Structure 1
Amino acid sequence: MGAAIGATVAPDHILKELADLWVSLGKQGEAEGGAGVLRACSMTLVVLAEESEDFSGLGETMAALMPEHPARTILIRLRGGEERTLSERVYSQCWMPFGQRRQICCEQIEITASDAALADLASVVLPLAVPDLPVIVWCRSARLVDMPEFHAIAAMARKVVLDSAQMPDGHSALRRVADLARRGVLLGDFSWTRLTRWREMLAQVFENRRNLALLDHISKVRVSFGGAYEVLAWYLGAWVLNALADAGVHAELSVTGTTGGRYLRVKLEGEGLKVELARSDDRLAIAVNDLSNVTNLPQPTDYLLMREELGIVRNDPVFDRTLASAARLAYPTD
């Protein structure tokens, strides 16, 4: 780390600020007649976001996550530019459980970094991680994934969470995610997390014995998508093909897309059976032959998606297999 940067942001200085913060919070809690302050921490959460992002919305998301997944949060605001700068501040996120008189607080560190300083970021962040607890990196910046400095940041994490649907080119986005996985990065992708309800609803279709008896008739799986749902479409198609293969059924997959609005549809077809799931706005339509019904399926918020990802900090073999299959199907000549 360069001398100029070290003088601006030093991990030892930040840790001292955190210690002073806890002393201040404890005195404040006692002065207000409470029972003091309880520190809560189950991980170090590193959030990388562009400085242009709406930080009030992101702050609300982080505040909602903390009661269930308390963490020392290190928020990296990416400024861009060639000037070599880093700056920081520390603060707390506190809440009081219903019926109690003691606040629960988590530490938050905010660091602003220019692109020129990204190479120094890992050496600043790693000493700030809470010992013996997992480090989770949530990368909200699509451009950062393509930068060489990102690999050093990802290497310090047990898990990296990103959103391939936010990457500008959906077809190359899947390749980028697959390349990270091949480098040994343990990944979570919001595109996959958005499919949780889809997978549950499709599995429920075959809880019906009549439909299950026709499972081996399925010969074609067709997935169509619009807008930024290309990676979701390949994930969905790959997962369906893998599930069918596990049942001894081999089907052909086709994935087609348009540049129009966002939509996603999957069809499973075979002799005597036609199953279709299609999203329209906040509804999911499910049709099995001549029967159909509609269920509510609101667009999941970043809070709900990240909440699910933070619940799985270990390897997810279903996602790993789906990602590998999707990449193989999407790029057969690689």
Structure 2
Amino acid sequence: MKIDLTDTTSARINAGLIQARRAIGTPAVGMVLTLVIVTDEGSAYDALRAAHEASREHPSRILAVIKRPGRSPRDRASARLDAEVVVGQEAGTGETVVLRMHGELANHAESVVLPLLLPDAPVVCWWPDQAPEEAAADPLGRLAQRRITDASSAEDPVGSLAVRAAGYAPGDTDLAWTRITPWRSMLAAALDQKHSVITAAAVEGEAYNASSELLALWLADRLGVEVERKVSDGPGITAVRLYTADGDICLDRADGALAELAVPGQPDRHVALHRRNTAELIAEELRRLDPDDIYRSTVEFGVKHLVGPAGAADSGPAPAKKATPAKKAAAAKAGSGSGSGSGSGSGK
């Protein structure tokens, strides 16, 4: 069921939600969290579709905030709230409210969102495209226990990792980090099977790929070894190689779906490692609302080397067979006496 409300208020929207639930015969509320999506008109459809799919695992009240401040002084001075209330099959297993804020109201979105939050339920804020530099300091971000950004959607994906590290607060995370969870889990499992000292590593992936850079930084941080960042044709991350005295541990995914894992002394085997869509990534992030300390450690380790002395982000692709800033940082860390690990930081 869908209800359109023009020039409305938060109180009328709450009344519309109650009316819609009664109309379809589901007065009971069984939602576990509020998901606030801050987006624009062009990205709203894809973001809402992903959120609806994720709500089948996490029944949620989804609030899509679309700001329309206007271009002319007259438009900016006016203030109006239009809303779409969607309950039922079109809203997944929860309910959805699309909030279009016009004029000056766009600068005070938190005043509209606050009365619509589910009582005594956690709040997650997601920026699918352009995110604030400090998500926790944003008025909407302050309402949330979990704040999700996506460095891959930024104009400078690798450079934006430095921005995420500089503005990090407990509860922050990034979908570029979520994308490498299967890679981290698989590599940690491989190291549990083969207890060898890692002497170096290499990560192969597309140029300007934030997930590839995060995976290289994670390996450098957790293992304390040099990590070489190689550029490939993709899609996404294509291979990770861990060099040991007994031979190379290699996780190779050439087609974006199926990977081959090679461990010295064991037969090669194929493992499922498909590229996940946004709905799967959001569903994973909604499973945990506590601070992700491994993500914090990785981005804080990387910010020292992704940003030069003058403060300019080094976002260029690393040439093949040459060390990236992550490699140089890991070498410095190894030289300072840090030991090598065995994948204990697999995180989520």
Question: Quick one: structure 1 residues 86 and 223, their matched pair in 2 at CA, closer, same or farther if it must change by over 3 Å?
Answer: farther
For residues 1-334 of structure 1, what are the structure 2 equivalents within 5 Å? 8-25=7-24, 29=25, 37-53=27-43, 55=45, 57-79=46-68, 81-82=70-71, 83-84=75-76, 86-94=80-88, 106-113=94-101, 117-142=105-130, 144-145=131-132, 151-181=138-168, 184=169, 186-208=171-193, 211-212=194-195, 214=196, 216=197, 218-229=198-209, 231-244=210-223, 250-257=224-231, 262-281=236-255, 282-289=257-264, 292-331=268-307, 333=309
3-state secondary structure, aligned to 2:211? helix
Show CA shifts across 1:253-308 (max 9, x none). 33344687644432221323312223322222323358533323221011111110
In 1, the alpha carbon distance for the partners of 2:297 and 2:103 equals 34
Q: 252-261 vs 192-201, which deviates more?
A: 252-261
3-state secondary structure, aligned to 1:223? strand
Q: Which protein, 1 or 2, shows the higher relative CO under an 8 Å CA cutoff with sep ≥ 6?
A: 2
Q: One-letter code of the match for 1:45?
A: L
Question: Quick one: structure 1 residues 171 and 58, their matched pair in 2 at CA, closer, same or farther if it must change by over 3 Å?
Answer: closer
Question: Quick one: structure 1 residues 258 and 86, their matched pair in 2 at CA, closer, same or farther if it must change by over 3 Å?
Answer: farther
Divergent runs of 4+, >4 A: 78-81, 114-117, 146-150, 258-261
Q: Is the contact made by 1:44 and 1:134 (CA closer than 8 Å) also made in structure 2?
A: yes
In 1, the alpha carbon distance for the partners of 2:283 and 2:135 equals 28
Show CA shifts across 1:95-143 (max 9, x none). 5xxxxxxxx963321112358643211121122212221111111122x
Show CA shifts across 1:165-188 (max 9, x none). 11121221111211231xx25212
In 1, the alpha carbon distance for the partners of 2:235 and 2:274 equals 16
Q: One-letter code of the match for 1:170?
A: P
In 1, the alpha carbon distance for the partners of 2:179 and 2:103 equals 31
Question: Quick one: structure 1 residues 50 and 90, their matched pair in 2 at CA, closer, same or farther if it must change by over 3 Å?
Answer: closer
- Note the C-alpha offset of 1:226: 1.0
Q: Is the contact made by 1:118 and 1:149 (CA closer than 8 Å) also made in structure 2?
A: no
- Note the C-alpha offset of 1:74: 0.6
Question: Quick one: structure 1 residues 108 and 154, their matched pair in 2 at CA, closer, same or farther if it must change by over 3 Å?
Answer: same
In 2, the alpha carbon distance for the partners of 1:105 and 1:272 equals 51
The gaps in structure 2 that reach 5 residues or longer are 1-5, 312-348
Give identity over the alignment, percent: 21
Q: One-letter code of the match for 1:39?
A: V
Matched with 1:3 is none
